[in-house]
Chains A and B, each alone.
Chain A
Amino acid sequence: MSNIRIKNLNDQNLDELIALCPFNAIEKDAQSGLAINAGCRMCRICLKRKPDVFYLAEAAPAPRINKQEWQGLAVYIEQQNGCIHPVSLELIGKAREMAAKTGQQVFCLLACEKSAGLPEQILAYGVDKVFVYERPELHHFRIEPFTAVFTDFIKRVKPSGVLVGGTSIGRSLAPRVAARFKTGLTADCTILDINASTDIDQIRPAYGGNIMAHIQTPNHRPQFATVRYKIFNAPEKTEPWGTVEFCQLDAAALKSAIEVLEVRPKEKVRSVEDAEVIVVAGKGIKKETDLKMIYELSDALGAMTAGTRPLIEQGWFDPRLQIGLSGRTVKPALIITCGVSGSVQFAAGMQGADHIIAINNDPDAAIFNLAHYAIVGDLYQVVPSLLEKIRKGGALV
């Protein structure tokens, strides 16, 4: 790796040079006149502006690792009480896609108390081999035994890349294992691809989604990436061809300082600000009993139901469920408005939603200006018909 150094300060205005750096990384130094401190981000602005003063010192390249020794893509299978978390299946889909490009295999790691039936379920998604660690110590998620299992798996398999779901468990486990192998980890990737040298192109948002960063781990293996749920697609099931290997691990390696005293379901007090999906009822709802279909739609989507100001004033909703300037500001992944005209005050409270679907029978409704999908139709016909579709669709799965 390279860094910036100072070669020549003859006749230079030090204050001008200090002002060059947007990160305040150039500072006065009693001995040499100027020094570059820890603020340096290698933006190279100083190099461009004052090439006579600053230069790039190239350090000896680090020894290259042998990428041939690291083959295949591994997916960590997250399970709870015998149910596989769907993000694991989505990662299998992405791993298979990438593995096909480089002619590699896809491996899965399953760590649990009892694996009954799970390896077969995993094989049905087209993976080459499932490595199973079955131990009573793996009943609850505790960091030390799961890290030990993961470590054993990586030493055994030597995968080139490892994908872990960006869940509460994955975001605790993946960094721990990555640190143990002193390798790179890219969190919350939204795009993954692979090149011929088996380097994974990892793209993730930073600064609250205001910029995207394209990241590689060019000289370390395995390459760790976490991906959140619902970013990729689960693959279709196929005729399985893979195999299962049961792995043993010393009980001493599975010790934990953590004792799980209780696991209880979370109380369901949710505020509308936290909801991922919101269905909003507006003035287009003629009477209170008609809200039934709105609630049914919410239930089908796992959503929260909220209202606009007129409905709150009628007493149909708790004031805490009012969306808009005088109510709550929300930024869900999806908002469906039913019979909402879309006043400026309402829009201010919800325009940050990722997806806005608006249903209104007035083609000139203001809500359509900010809706991604403007549905011009009578909600009394569209919503029941949609519910019917969802019911049928649900029965088919």
Chain B
Amino acid sequence: MKILVCIKQVPDSTRVDIDPETMTLKRGGVDSKINPFDLFAIETAVKLKEKHNAHVCSISMGPPQTEAAIRETYMLGVDEGILLSDRNFAGADVLATSYALSQGILSAGMPDLIICGRQTTDGDTGQVGPEIAEFLNIPHVAYVRNIVSSDEKGMVLEMDMPETVEVVRINFPFLMTVEKGIFQPRLPSFKRRLASKDRPVRRLTLADMPDSQPENYGLKGSPTQVIRIFPPTNPATHETWKDAPEVLADKIYNKLSELKFL
């Protein structure tokens, strides 16, 4: 069985400041880490590897320093890593990111199972997984919170829906996005770190993609454009209400209705 895990390197903190003059993000000196939600995807893959003797590969896209994130997956039990890095991939939105990753996956060879975390902590969209599945023409199951059973052919999964739990059976190949809490992620192992110190990270560039047209990648291949970014306006409400109890109750009732809690 071949399992592929998609990961992203994100800033270590979600505290970001905006330069008020240029209206760009101030990101100098911010440390990076593996997107916390991806740790659950990695753990799920490694658990399946232990059960089925599977081969686990991690894939990411980003600037060259993203290699550190791939190396970290080796310390968690991943066997092989691929980094898509090319200037033409930069500035990608959801569509261009998903497309590049799907092309990278095609280039590396289709796995039986692709696992993604539920979302990233920087973009917060949670949409890349389903788009990759679409580009690879395989089904996907989102919000997986439990693996009921797995065999050589496929899996029985529990999907975490708002009101219900749906149990589905699906055959390989497919993509799933996992919830946090599906497994407790393990800590990086020093032993594995030593063992993987000379293990290479495979670099793929535009030239390695089955579709090597630059206009389908990065900023050029992104249908959405960020017009501007700005700090959220947070008008700090502070009102004091002093009145007869019935009047106060009335005001609270109206406020709760207005805020849609009633």
Contact = CB atoms under 8 A, between A and B. Distances in A.
A143 B140 contact: yes
A393 B245 contact: no
A369 to B, nearest CB: 9
A241 interface: no
B127 A174 contact: yes
Contacts, number: 284
Interface string B43-72: 000000000000000000011110000000
A269 to B, nearest CB: 12
A260 B168 contact: yes
B109 interface: no
Interface residues of B, number: 98
A388 B27 contact: no
Interface in A270-314: 277, 300-301
Contact of B25 (A59, A205, A211, A258): A211
Interface in A122-165: 140-144, 147
A377 interface: yes
B131 A176 contact: yes
A372 B225 contact: no
B240 A385 contact: no
Nearest to A59: B220
Nearest to A372: B237
A221 to B, nearest CB: 9
A39 B32 CA distance: 13
Contacts of B215: 62
B230 A211 contact: yes
A337 to B, nearest CB: 12
A117 interface: no
B186 interface: no
A104 interface: no
Contact of A188 (B124, B143, B227): B124
B241 A375 contact: yes
Given A172-B140, A211-B232, A213-B226, A185 B127 contact: yes
Interface in A14-35: 22-25, 27
B252 interface: yes
A214 B262 contact: no
A237 interface: no
A319 interface: no
Q: In the complex, which range does the number of interface residues on chain A fall in?
A: 35 or more
B127 A171 contact: yes
B86 interface: yes
B26 to A, nearest CB: 8
A201 B88 CA distance: 27
Interface in B181-233: 215, 219-220, 222-232
A116 interface: no
B82 to A, nearest CB: 14
A394 to B, nearest CB: 8
Nearest to A257: B139
Given A37-B85, A210-B14, A219-B223, A176 B237 contact: no
A1 B224 contact: no
A376 B242 contact: yes
A376 to B, nearest CB: 5
Contacts of B63: 23-25, 37-39
Contact of A217 (B165, B223, B243): B223
A301 B256 CA distance: 9
A266 to B, nearest CB: 5
A59 to B, nearest CB: 7
Interface string A188-219: 10000000000001100111111111111111
B28 interface: yes
Contacts of A172: 130, 140, 142-143
Contact of A262 (B167, B231, B241): B167
A217 B225 contact: yes
B144 to A, nearest CB: 11
A283 B175 CA distance: 51
B250 interface: yes
B259 to A, nearest CB: 6
Given A40-B90, A257-B170, A374-B241, A207 B122 contact: yes
Interface in B139-181: 139-143, 156, 159-171, 174
Nearest to B26: A22
B246 interface: yes
Given A179-B131, A258-B141, A334-B259, A212 B245 contact: no
Contacts of A261: 156, 167-169
Contacts of A382: 245, 248-249, 252
Given A180-B134, A260-B166, A260-B168, A1 B229 contact: no
B133 interface: yes
Given A209-B232, A375-B241, A376-B240, A175 B220 contact: no
13 contacts: A24-B63, A27-B64, A37-B87, A176-B133, A211-B16, A214-B229, A230-B260, A259-B170, A262-B166, A265-B164, A301-B256, A372-B237, A374-B241
6 tightest CB-CB pairs across the interface, nearest first?
Answer: A39-B63, A184-B223, A381-B245, A385-B249, A208-B14, A175-B127
Interface of B: 11, 14-16, 18, 22, 24-28, 62-65, 85-91, 93-95, 98-99, 121-131, 133-135, 139-143, 156, 159-171, 174, 215, 219-220, 222-232, 236-243, 245-246, 248-253, 255-257, 259-262
